[in-house]
Amino acid sequence: MIAKRILFGQAPKIALPEGAIDSHMHVYSAQYPSLLGGPDLPADAACLEDYQKVQQWLGLKRVVITQPNAYQIDNTVMLEALDVLGERGRGVVVVTPDTTEEELEEWHARGARGARIMQLPQGAAGIDKLLEVNAKIKPFGWTCIVQFYGNEILEYVPTLEKIQGDYVIDHFCKFIPPVKPDSIEYNALLGLIERGNAYYKMAGVYESSKVGAPEYSDIEVLAKPIIERFPERVLWGSNWPHVSGPIENAPNDAILLDKMMEWMGSDQTRQQIFVENPQRLYW
């Protein structure tokens, strides 16, 4: 029997700012199987209609859908979801060196505004493709969203420093295990943000934290200094539907959102992270 995903519950204790944007989640469709090289679909498919219930629960108004690894370079499901959402949605697609200008034009018209670079197992386009992809999307004003293991950041800094335009370092920079704030790796992350074109996305904290719920304190000590120093360079994403583990282990989205909002500290900072920053990048 498939476990039932929680789609509604008690509202977050801290109210989101008006027009709040979820800058990272995924959608699937049971009508489209996963592709070779990608992971299996979630057991319950986790479709757009399910996510819209979560939006209502949390008080979210707009969303940036990120292409999931399951569909590799086929962006069909995500683009169809954008067709439904209209101006309420934007998308991060997978772009390869073989993607044509005509495809990019079509995807842009349908709401795509970024390209996903995934330097993790089952990712469709890795950092070796980053600069080629960056060159392809730059005329459209898109951003690269880059996910890698933060413990390997020193290897990737030379490439990241060559990116033209804005880009996003995904999933708290995914330090597994979490590093210390005085580590060379963490300071390399700070150096990239200080350059002025890197954003830091708060998403999937449970994937990196060894301490775990409810405090995630080993990630908190890394995230809060960045939030405090660079509030204009921070994004937040729900990472729904939390496919890194079984459905029954998925976090309660409202409780997790409250914890992330606590780290942000003030209404002004929340306004930047939930509204102003993603608005600037994607709308």
Catalytic residues: 239
Q: Cis ω on the peptide bond leading into residue 241 (within 30° of 0)?
A: yes
Give the amino acid at 215.
E
Q: Is 221 exposed, middle or buried (0-12, 13-18, 19+ CB in 10 A)?
A: middle
Residue with tokens 């009508």: 31
Closest CA to 211 of 277, 139, 259, 268: 259
Residues 6+ apart with CB under 8 A from 50: 5, 7, 44, 241
- Residue 214 to residue 220: CA distance in whole angstroms: 11
Tokens read off for 151: 């413990």
Query: 132-153: string of b/e by CB count within 10 Å (b at 16+)?
Result: ebbebbeeeebbbbbbbbbbeb
Q: Is 45 exposed, middle or buried (0-12, 13-18, 19+ CB in 10 A)?
A: middle
